[in-house]
């Protein structure tokens, strides 16, 4: 995806290809996380005392990482959304003048807090090795969590590009729905059940292959490291609904920008 070429970015087929590629990143990141137990202490507020910081160990690590990444221009890219937008720093590299692709308020559409909450409460229990703490792995586990959160955030906030593409393809229909503040109508308009069904089937197929040693494929008792059914459940219950929420949140404000 080339953000310097708006036409290619707003082609729905290209967007969906990008979403398919992101599945691989997400699955492999989940597999990395599945080596570790839940290690819930890294999510507990002020469990580990950190000077001048109020929050969990995960929050502190992610916030510090975002400060560095912001200085290398990560959050100038329209597909990257920070978890700590008030803490990030100006880039040290010269700014890139991206052409306008999304509406001017698009960076305000940020559901990272909700993504983090769902990740900790619902996704970690499904992808970790079990309930419990491994004090020696808290750091590694936290860096895996950050990889997962960043990959999920990018995937879910890609809903902005999907929404912009859909708006431009059917401007009159969406304008009416937005004017009427018809949230259910917008949800219905953006939903494509066939695409969703294909995603879930593909995740099961990928989960069956990626999580195993391929040389052992035909022996008995081969286990995936993240259950394919859980992968599908995570997408069905959280990833796709949150992507749709981003689409709806983005569209509801879309007429501000015309």
Ligand X SMILES: O=C(O)C(=O)C[C@]1(C(=O)O)C=C[C@@H](O)C=C1
* Of the candidate residues 191, 201, 216, 256, the single one contacting ligand X (CB under 6 A): 191
Q: Which residue's entry shows tokens 């008030």?
A: 86
* Of the candidate residues 33, 116, 160, 244, the single one contacting ligand X (CB under 6 A): 244
Nearer to ligand X, 109 or 144 (CB): 109
Q: Is 192 in the active site?
A: yes
- Answer yes or no whether residue 222 interacts with ligand X by CB under 6 A: no
Residues in CB range of 104: below 8 A, 6 or more apart: 256, 257
Instruction: In whole angstroms, give the CA distance from residue 25 to residue 27.
Output: 6
- Answer yes or no whether residue 208 interacts with ligand X by CB under 6 A: no
- Answer yes or no whether residue 192 interacts with ligand X by CB under 6 A: yes
Q: Is 131 in the active site?
A: no
Instruction: In whole angstroms, give the CA distance from residue 64 to residue 84.
Output: 9
- Answer yes or no whether residue 19 interacts with ligand X by CB under 6 A: yes
CA dihedral of 142, 86, 81, 48, whole degrees rounded to 10: 10
* Of the candidate residues 190, 203, 232, 251, the single one contacting ligand X (CB under 6 A): 190
Do 33 and 141 form a contact (C-beta atoms < 8 A)?
A: yes
Nearer to ligand X, 13 or 45 (CB): 13
Query: Phi/psi of residue 212, each to 5°?
Result: -125, 165
* Of the candidate residues 243, 248, 250, 251, the single one contacting ligand X (CB under 6 A): 243
Instruction: In whole angstroms, give the CA distance from residue 25 to residue 149.
Output: 11
- Answer yes or no whether residue 168 interacts with ligand X by CB under 6 A: no
What track of x and - describes contact with ligand X for positions 116 through 155 (by CB under 6 A)? ----------------------------------------
Nearer to ligand X, 7 or 197 (CB): 197
Q: Is 74 in the active site?
A: no
- Which is catalytic among the residues 33, 116, 160, 166? 166
- Which is catalytic among the residues 155, 206, 244, 254? 155
Instruction: In whole angstroms, give the CA distance from residue 172 to residue 165.
Output: 13
Q: At what angle do helices 138-157 and 57-71 cross, to 10 degrees?
A: 60
Full DSSP string of 59-81: HHHHHHHHHHHHHTTGGGSTT--
3-class SS at 222? coil
Q: Is 155 in the active site?
A: yes
Q: Is 113 in the active site?
A: no
- Answer yes or no whether residue 196 interacts with ligand X by CB under 6 A: yes
3-class SS at 193? helix
- Which is catalytic among the residues 76, 80, 187, 196? 196
Residues labelled as active-site residues = 16, 155, 166, 192, 196, 243, 247
Binding site for ligand X (CB under 6 A): 16, 19, 162, 190-192, 195-196, 199, 240, 243-244, 247
């Amino acid at each position: 995806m080339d953000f310097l070429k708006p036409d290619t970015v707003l082609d729905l087929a290209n967007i969906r290809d990008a979403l398919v590629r992101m599945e691989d990143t997400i699955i492999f990141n989940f597999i990395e996380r599945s080596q570790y137990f839940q290690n819930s202490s890294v999510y507990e507020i002020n469990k580990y005392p950190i000077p001048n910081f109020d929050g969990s160990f995960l929050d502190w690590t992610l916030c510090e990482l975002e400060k560095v990444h912001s200085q290398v221009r990560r959050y100038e890219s329209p597909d990257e959304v920070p978890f700590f937008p008030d803490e990030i720093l100006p880039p040290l590299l010269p700014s890139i003048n991206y052409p306008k692709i999304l509406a001017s308020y698009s960076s305000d559409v940020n559901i990272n807090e909700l993504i983090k909450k769902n990740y900790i409460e619902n996704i970690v229990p499904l992808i970790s090795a079990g309930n419990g703490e491994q004090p020696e792995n808290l750091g590694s586990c936290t860096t895996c969590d950050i990889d997962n959160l960043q990959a999920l955030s990018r995937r879910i906030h890609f809903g902005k590009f999907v929404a912009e593409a859909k708006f431009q393809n059917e401007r009159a229909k969406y304008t009416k729905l937005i004017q009427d503040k018809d949230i259910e109508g917008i949800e219905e308009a953006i939903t494509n059940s066939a695409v969703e069904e294909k995603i879930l089937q593909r995740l099961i197929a990928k989960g069956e292959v990626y999580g195993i040693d391929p040389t052992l494929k035909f022996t008995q008792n081969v286990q995936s490291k993240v259950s394919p059914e859980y992968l599908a459940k995570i997408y069905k219950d959280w990833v796709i609904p949150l992507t749709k929420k981003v689409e709806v949140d983005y569209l509801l404000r879309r007429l501000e920008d015309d």
